[in-house]
């Protein structure tokens, strides 16, 4: 049996005796007799570390690790520099609690302050929180923070990731608020349809940039219409794209959110990921979650603390805007290390290279007979293709240990990152060519 | 602790002064002292209706938040926006730093005169 | 310490990516970024040293004693980390074909089976990313249940006043009115107070047992019976499960759904504030309402985040479960309780326990008399502990005890550590009488002294700006 209890049998007896007890059962005297388990749980016997590592390795082996991943749809396989994996694995960062005790937590607090600054830089916003669970919950929290007593309805573009739409719906179901979906036109948010839905009860409009189909939305025009109606504009952004794309602030957003996973976190079968959230000065106090602020200590030295805590659940209880406490601090640290290693140039290169490679693959595939883009328009690193025999194509790629695009709405949604070489892309094109022949 | 002899008070430590038919509302010295250094005030909007005995906003210290209870029922006609940038005014000058002004008054809580309020504070201390 | 931006040197960089080997594509001009973000420009040496310096000013549970009540800061085994870093887990796309992810499914199914057995539940989701997120999910299950029966009159959730702040905040996020009921002096549910508020409008009760002062509520069968009788459901906040896992099950206590903090009870690390994982278990009649991913699985269900949740955290928890096995689970709980009682007994001659009786995995000290005698507050004692390399206990919680310090040593601390900790408490107890002024100024040996939190809140500086 494996155990992390250090006390020896003799010490345990000694400790029990010192508090006047002879048996562990006496510690649980308040547990009603009928409930106290008089048998062991139906679990396997404990194992040594060596046996456990074998068991887990065997499970991992049952998963297929593809050499190349051409699937995105919310989880993006970018290159993760080695040091980005090493630093968050340091035991101090890994095993600390939330930094409520500032004097013993300056390292964590400073790293969050640096993360907040980087998110503000990427989004062009004034204030970022310390993170939320993922991009979908960031979107749902943003929709909640945009509501006031009079404006309760959230509009969400149908070109948003389905999981994000469903999460916003679920949070709104909680507070009994309405969500309306804005239809798309040619794969993008339909401006006229949105205008028809806007009104005095609409609190905010959520749009994803680039959207679920990889297309760039006409955010400027959308934002103007949203603001004209008095609602807030929430933009969900891909953080890698932000290396070269106009900031959400410049595109008119009041709240910028997104899935931070592309910033150095592994795709990891869906998590842990990272939700980032930033807003303007005006809405600072509506932002949910932890926020680190700079101050001075009693000797006048620069110091960092968890600040504006009176917004949060442990103080405001049922009147808090959100119940969030634990967030994704270590993932935020990972993103921060990633951004420091990449720098402004490296991030821009990851973005341009992903975009260029996606365009290259798209052009090459579209030159094959029967393959075409579902929607026209400028795109980032994802594109939806209509193609013959998609099952056969994906199976042929699978055979070469390549994970092809995601079958979606009778088409295939492809994604290319900087990780994939031109050589591999050319190989993909020839495999597809053969499969559809 | 000081009690301004020209004001009336609530059991929840707000003060009120009638300025013609407008009620001026703030918090007492006892309240600001108990709350500690205030860092933010959440104010209602002009035009909001307030109800006697119910919350019209709140004040935050670093580790606590406390409801502001309206002594009267009516409509908010003015808010002290200076408090948004300088909540410490409530600590430094509680009887000078009014929070809201209310008109169209239609009902009020049982108010305490300065002597009764002093007794009330003594019982809570 | 300098911020990373203050160490940045224009033009310096790491060499990570190759030159792009396909023709470049221009960003559409209307969308092109005008100025580059001010990100650090550093060599890899700079980055490495920056974070190495930062982590010298962090105290993790693997660095030293961390008796933080209600947070279960137990040792985080390194093998759990190694297993969660296997490429066979980290490199798996959540939308990869089902046939290629059999190992991931096995991890989730196995963890679900074991955790259902531990909690006495029938079904489970791993979608929630943290404890509060699990609470949200659990209370939504309650809401869906009442809605599915067309029972619209249930608008209230009952929460004891000793509860964690997340409980009332969660109920509010689920559209419920929160009914706070006073606790009995020992933090247990006051049955009369409960009876007085139960009725046709009761949607449910949120409760943690052992409660937030570390006492097992012996009336639990009666509590859950009363709530059910009124037509409400019972939600178990698993924050304190470490005291009772393998000993008594929430399902047997009468609870209908439960969240677990895998990052407390099942030894996955806290990461300075996450990621956690808030697995939610429920009885079979609630299983149809469990959340699913619209893209991965099916539409028409609740969904509290993308995909399947914090999968790699579940890998760590499963590693831990497999290591402990059927005997180790209850062994951990029993020794967590023993350690708490032992430490309380060792401290008792000095600081006063708020409840002088057998506790569960944690106990509360009441320093109000001590403060009257010395002027030294619970905060002063907590800050003084830092100078001894001990993380302070939870302060001023639960709200029903004044000048509270709440200690949870966990089972992974040795008798020697507990003896040492008791000695430190004794030393500080005496110091309070001799030199209270010194303790008002503590800590003295930390990187910073006490920060000015009022200044931080009045004039928020929430990001670095190049001056």
Task: DSSP for A204-256, please give it.
Answer: EEEEEES-TTSBPP-HHHHHHHHHHTT-EEEEEE-TTGGGTBPPTTTTT-SEE
A194 three-state secondary structure: helix
The reply to whether C461 touches chain B by the CB within 8 Å rule is: no
State residue A267's pLDDT score. 98
State residue A296's pLDDT score. 97
To the nearest whole Å, the CA of A291 is away from the closest chain C CA by 7
To the nearest whole Å, the CA of B40 is away from the closest chain C CA by 7
Identify the residue whose tokens are 């309306």: A180
- Residue C396: list chain B partners with CB under 8 A: 63
The whole-angstrom distance between residue C428's C-alpha and the CA centroid of its chain comes to: 29
Residues with Cβ < 8 Å from B34, sequence gap 6 or more?
B13
Q: Which of residues 289-308 of A touch C (CB under 8 A)?
A: 290-299, 301, 303-305, 307-308
B65 three-state secondary structure: strand
- Residue A316: list chain B partners with CB under 8 A: 65
Q: Do C14 and A117 touch (CB under 8 A)?
A: no
CA–CA distance, A9 with A13 (Å, rounded to integer): 6
ipTM over 0.95: yes
Asked if residues C63 and C269 have their Cβ atoms less than 8 Å apart, the reply is no
Distances (CA, A) of C433 to B122, C97, C347, C350, C405: 30, 68, 17, 12, 18
- Residue B61: list chain A partners with CB under 8 A: 310
Size of interface B-C (CB pairs under 8 A): 13
Written as six digits, the tokens of C427 are: 């030393």
Query: Least CB-CB distance to A270: which of C30, C311, C338?
Result: C311
Q: Which CATH number fits domain C78-321: 3.90.1150.10, 3.40.640.10, 3.40.50.460, 3.40.50.1400?
A: 3.40.640.10
Q: Do B63 and A315 touch (CB under 8 A)?
A: yes
Query: Least CB-CB distance to A340: which of C4, C174, C413?
Result: C4
Query: Least CB-CB distance to B62: which of A285, A309, A316?
Result: A309
State residue C399's pLDDT score. 79
Q: Do A259 and C218 touch (CB under 8 A)?
A: no
Per residue in C53-74, pLDDT (tens digit) is 999 999 999 899 999 999 999 9
Q: Do C457 and B88 touch (CB under 8 A)?
A: no
Query: Least CB-CB distance to B64: which of A308, A315, A319?
Result: A315
CA–CA distance, C391 with C376 (Å, rounded to integer): 18
The reply to whether A285 touches chain B by the CB within 8 Å rule is: yes
Q: Do B87 and C453 touch (CB under 8 A)?
A: no
Flag whether pLDDT at B3 surpasses 80.
yes
C36 three-state secondary structure: coil
To the nearest whole Å, the CA of B21 is away from the closest chain C CA by 34
Written as six digits, the tokens of C194 are: 């409960």
The residues facing A391 across adjacent strands are none
- In Å, the largest CA–CA distance within chain A is 84
Strand A184-185 to A188-189 pairing = antiparallel
- Residue A315: list chain B partners with CB under 8 A: 63-65
- Residue B62: list chain A partners with CB under 8 A: 309-310
State residue C221's pLDDT score. 95
The reply to whether C311 touches chain A by the CB within 8 Å rule is: yes
Write the DSSP symbol of residue C350: S
The pLDDT averaged over each successive group of 10 residues in chain C (467 residues) is 96 95 95 96 97 96 94 96 98 97 98 98 97 97 97 96 90 96 88 96 96 92 97 96 97 97 96 96 97 84 95 98 97 97 96 94 96 96 97 89 94 97 98 97 96 95 92
Q: Do B63 and A309 touch (CB under 8 A)?
A: yes
Which CATH number is C331-440 given?
3.90.1150.10
Q: Do C308 and A161 touch (CB under 8 A)?
A: no
State residue A7's pLDDT score. 95
Which residue in chain B is spatially nearest to C460 when comparing CA positions?
B39
State residue A87's pLDDT score. 97
Query: Least CB-CB distance to C117: which of A16, A42, A421?
Result: A42
State residue B111's pLDDT score. 92
Residues with Cβ < 8 Å from C326, sequence gap 6 or more?
A40, A41, A42, A43, A44, A45, A46, C246
- Residue C457: list chain B partners with CB under 8 A: 39-40, 60, 62
Strand C156-160 to C202-207 pairing = parallel
Instruction: Return phi, psi of residue A429, to 5°.
Output: -60, -40
Q: Which of residues 44-63 of B touch C (CB under 8 A)?
A: 60, 62-63
Query: Rounded to the nearest 10 degrees, how much is the dihedral formed by the CA atoms of C7, C8, C14, C19?
Result: 180
Q: Residues B41, B45, B47, B52: is their CA dihedral positive or negative?
A: negative
State residue A408's pLDDT score. 96
Confidence of residue B45 (pLDDT cuts 50, 70, 90): very high
To the nearest whole Å, the CA of A15 is away from the closest chain C CA by 6
Task: DSSP for C275-339, please give it.
Answer: -----EEE-GGGGGG----TTTT-SSS--SSSTTS-HHHHHHHHHHHHHHHHHHHHHHHHHHHHH
Neighbours of C218 (CB within 10 A): 15
Size of interface A-B (CB pairs under 8 A): 18
The reply to whether C462 touches chain B by the CB within 8 Å rule is: no
Neighbours of A17 (CB within 10 A): 10
Which residue in chain C is spatially nearest to B37 when comparing CA positions?
C454
Q: Do B61 and A310 touch (CB under 8 A)?
A: yes
Strand A179-182 to A153-157 pairing = parallel
Strand A291-296 to A275-279 pairing = unpaired
B41 three-state secondary structure: strand
Distances (CA, A) of A401 to A66, C81, C101, C385: 5, 27, 14, 55
Q: What is the pLDDT along chain A (437 residues), one digit of tens a residue?
A: 689 999 999 999 999 999 999 999 999 999 999 999 989 999 999 999 999 999 999 999 999 999 999 999 999 999 999 999 999 999 999 999 999 999 999 999 999 999 999 999 999 999 999 999 999 999 999 999 999 989 999 999 999 999 999 999 999 999 999 999 999 999 999 999 999 999 999 999 999 999 999 999 999 999 999 999 999 999 999 999 999 999 999 999 999 999 999 999 999 999 999 999 999 999 999 999 999 999 999 999 999 999 988 888 888 888 888 999 999 999 999 999 999 999 999 999 999 999 999 999 999 999 999 999 999 999 999 999 999 999 999 999 999 999 999 999 999 999 999 999 999 999 999 999 999 99
State residue C295's pLDDT score. 86
Which residue in chain B is spatially nearest to A318 when comparing CA positions?
B65
Which residue in chain C is spatially nearest to B40 when comparing CA positions?
C458
Which residue ranges form the domains of chain A, and what is each CATH number? Answer: 68-79+343-436 (3.90.1150.10), 82-337 (3.40.640.10)
CA–CA distance, A304 with A301 (Å, rounded to integer): 10
Write the DSSP symbol of residue A146: T
Q: Is B95 exposed, middle or buried (0-12, 13-18, 19+ CB in 10 A)?
A: middle
Q: List subunits contacting chain C, requiring 3 or more Cβ pairs under 8 Å.
A: A, B
Q: Which of residues 366-395 of A touch C (CB under 8 A)?
A: 378, 394
Q: Do A315 and B40 touch (CB under 8 A)?
A: no
Asked if residues A242 and A335 have their Cβ atoms less than 8 Å apart, the reply is no
Q: Which CATH number fits domain B8-124: 2.70.98.60, 2.40.50.100, 1.10.287.1080, 3.30.1490.20?
A: 2.40.50.100
Instruction: Return phi, psi of residue C84, to 5°.
Output: -75, -10
Query: Rounded to the nearest 10 degrees, how much is the dihedral formed by the CA atoms of A209, A215, A221, A226?
Result: -50
Confidence of residue B16 (pLDDT cuts 50, 70, 90): very high
State residue C163's pLDDT score. 86
Asked if residues A249 and A307 have their Cβ atoms less than 8 Å apart, the reply is no
Which of A100, A307, A310, A320 should be substituted to probe chain B, the one whose Cβ sees the most B Cβ atoms within 10 Å? A310
User: Long-range contacts of range A186-190, CB-CB < 8 Å, 24 or more positions apart?
Assistant: A186/A375, A186/A376, A186/A377, A187/A159, A187/A211, A187/A213, A187/A215, A187/A374, A187/A375, A187/A377, A187/A384, A188/A159, A188/A215, A188/A217, A188/A218, A188/A375, A188/A377, A189/A157, A189/A158, A189/A159, A189/A217, A189/A218, A189/A222
The whole-angstrom distance between residue A202's C-alpha and the CA centroid of its chain comes to: 26
The residues facing A258 across adjacent strands are A276
Query: Least CB-CB distance to A1: which of C269, C327, C341?
Result: C327
User: What are the counts of helices (DSSP H) followed by strands (DSSP E) for chain B?
Assistant: 4, 9
Distances (CA, A) of C450 to A309, C442, C455: 17, 8, 12
Instruction: Return phi, psi of residue A215, to 5°.
Output: -80, 145
pTM: 0.96
Written as six digits, the tokens of A53 are: 């590592």
Query: Least CB-CB distance to A97: which of C55, C270, C455?
Result: C270
Asked if residues C247 and C328 have their Cβ atoms less than 8 Å apart, the reply is no
Residue among C327, C341, C428, C331 nearest C378 (CA): C428
The rounded mean pLDDT for chain B is 93
Residue among A285, A280, A277 nearest A316 (CA): A285
Q: Is-same-fold flag (C78-321; C331-440)?
A: no
- Residue A259: list chain C partners with CB under 8 A: 306
């Amino acid at each position: 049996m494996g155990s992390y209890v250090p006390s020896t049998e003799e010490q345990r007896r000694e400790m029990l005796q010192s508090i006047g007890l002879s048996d562990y059962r006496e510690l649980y005297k308040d547990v009603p007799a009928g409930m106290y388990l008089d048998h062991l749980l139906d679990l396997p016997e404990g194992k040594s570390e060596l046996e456990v590592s074998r068991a887990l390795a065997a499970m991992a082996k049952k998963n297929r690790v593809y050499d190349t991943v051409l699937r995105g749809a919310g989880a993006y396989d970018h290159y993760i520099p080695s040091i980005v994996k090493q630093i968050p694995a340091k035991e101090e960062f890994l095993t600390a609690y939330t930094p409520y005790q500032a004097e013993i937590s300056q390292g964590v607090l400073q790293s969050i302050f640096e993360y907040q600054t980087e998110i503000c830089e990427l989004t062009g916003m004034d204030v970022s929180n310390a993170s939320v669970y993922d991009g979908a919950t960031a979107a749902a929290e943003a929709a909640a923070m945009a509501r006031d007593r009079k404006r309760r309805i959230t509009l969400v573009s149908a070109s948003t990731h389905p999981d994000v739409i469903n999460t916003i719906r679920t949070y709104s179901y909680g507070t009994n608020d309405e969500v309306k979906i804005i239809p798309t036109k040619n794969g993008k948010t339909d401006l006229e349809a949105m205008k028809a839905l806007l009104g005095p009860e609409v609190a905010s409009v959520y749009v994803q940039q680039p959207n679920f189909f990889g297309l760039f939305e006409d955010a400027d025009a959308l934002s103007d219409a949203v603001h004209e109606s008095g609602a807030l504009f929430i933009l969900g952004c891909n953080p890698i794209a932000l290396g070269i794309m106009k900031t959400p602030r410049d595109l008119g957003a009041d709240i910028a959110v997104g899935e931070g996973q592309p910033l150095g976190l592994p795709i990891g079968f869906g998590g842990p990921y990272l939700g980032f959230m930033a807003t303007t000065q005006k809405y600072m106090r509506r932002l949910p979650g932890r926020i680190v602020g700079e101050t001075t200590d009693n000797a006048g030295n620069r110091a960092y603390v968890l600040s504006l805590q009176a917004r949060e659940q442990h103080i405001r209880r049922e009147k808090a805007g959100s119940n969030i406490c634990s967030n994704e601090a270590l993932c935020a640290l990972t993103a921060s290390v990633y951004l420091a290693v990449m720098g402004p140039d490296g991030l821009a290169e990851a973005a341009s290279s992903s975009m260029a490679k996606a365009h290259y693959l798209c052009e090459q595939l579209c030159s094959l007979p029967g393959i075409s883009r579902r929607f026209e328009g400028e795109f980032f690193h994802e594109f939806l293709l209509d193609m013959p025999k998609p099952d056969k194509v994906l199976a042929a790629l699978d055979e070469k240990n390549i994970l092809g695009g995601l079958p979606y709405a009778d088409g295939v949604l492809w994604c290319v990152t900087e990780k994939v070489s031109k050589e591999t892309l050319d190989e993909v094109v020839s495999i597809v060519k053969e499969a559809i022949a | 602790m000081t009690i301004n002899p020209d004001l009336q008070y609530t059991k929840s430590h707000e003060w009120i002064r009638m300025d013609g038919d407008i009620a001026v509302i703030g918090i007492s010295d006892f309240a600001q002292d108990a709350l500690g250094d205030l860092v933010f005030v959440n104010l209602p909007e002009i035009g909001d209706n307030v109800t006697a005995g119910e919350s019209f906003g709140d004040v935050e210290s670093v580790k606590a938040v406390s409801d502001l209870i309206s002594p009267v029922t009516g409509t908010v006609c003015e808010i002290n926006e200076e408090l948004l940038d300088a909540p410490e005014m409530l600590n430094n000058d509680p009887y000078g730093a009014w929070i809201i002004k209310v008109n169209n008054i239609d009902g009020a809580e049982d108010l305490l005169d300065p002597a009764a309020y002093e007794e009330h504070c003594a019982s809570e201390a | 310490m300098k911020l990373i931006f203050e160490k940045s040197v224009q033009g310096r960089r790491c060499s990570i990516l190759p030159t792009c080997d396909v023709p470049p594509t221009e960003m559409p001009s209307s969308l092109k970024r005008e100025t580059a973000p001010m990100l650090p420009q550093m060599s890899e040496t700079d980055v490495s040293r920056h974070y190495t310096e930062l982590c010298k000013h962090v105290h993790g549970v693997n660095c030293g004693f961390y008796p933080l009540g209600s947070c279960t800061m137990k040792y985080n085994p390194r093998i759990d980390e190694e297993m969660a870093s296997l490429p066979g887990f980290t490199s798996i796309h959540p939308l990869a074909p089902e046939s290629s992810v059999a190992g991931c499914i096995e991890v989730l199914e196995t963890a679900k089976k074991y955790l259902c057995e531990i909690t006495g539940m029938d079904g489970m989701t791993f979608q929630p990313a943290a404890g509060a997120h699990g609470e949200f999910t659990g209370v939504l299950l309650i809401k869906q249940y009442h809605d599915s029966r067309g029972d619209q009159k249930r608008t209230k959730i009952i929460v004891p006043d000793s509860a964690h702040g997340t409980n009332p905040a969660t109920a509010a996020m689920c559209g419920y009115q929160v009914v706070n009921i006073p606790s009995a002096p020992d933090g247990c549910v006051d049955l009369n107070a409960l009876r007085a508020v139960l009725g046709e409008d009761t949607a449910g009760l949120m409760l943690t047992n052992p409660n937030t002062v570390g006492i097992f509520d012996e009336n639990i069968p009666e509590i859950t019976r009363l709530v059910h009788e009124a037509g409400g459901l019972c939600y178990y906040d698993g924050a304190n499960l470490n005291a009772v896992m393998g000993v008594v099950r929430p399902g047997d206590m009468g609870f209908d759904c439960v969240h677990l903090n895998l990052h407390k009870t099942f030894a996955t690390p806290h990461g300075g504030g996450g990621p956690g994982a808030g697995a939610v278990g429920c009885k079979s009649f609630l299983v149809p309402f469990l959340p699913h991913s619209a893209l991965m699985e099916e539409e028409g269900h609740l969904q509290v985040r993308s995909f399947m949740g914090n999968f790699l955290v579940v890998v760590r928890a499963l590693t831990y479960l497999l290591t402990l096995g059927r005997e180790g689970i209850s062994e951990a709980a029993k020794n967590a309780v023993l350690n708490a009682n032992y430490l309380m007994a060792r401290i008792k001659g000095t600081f006063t326990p708020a409840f002088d009786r057998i506790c569960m995995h944690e106990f509360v000290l009441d320093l109000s008399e001590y403060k009257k005698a010395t002027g030294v507050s619970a905060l002063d004692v907590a800050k003084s502990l830092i100078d001894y390399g001990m993380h302070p206990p939870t302060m001023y919680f639960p709200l029903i005890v004044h000048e509270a310090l709440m200690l949870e040593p966990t089972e992974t601390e040795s008798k020697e550590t507990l003896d040492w900790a008791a000695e430190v408490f004794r030393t500080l107890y005496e110091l309070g009488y001799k030199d209270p002024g010194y303790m008002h100024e503590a800590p003295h040996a930390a990187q910073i002294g006490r920060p000015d939190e009022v200044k931080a809140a009045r004039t928020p500086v929430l990001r670095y700006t190049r001056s």
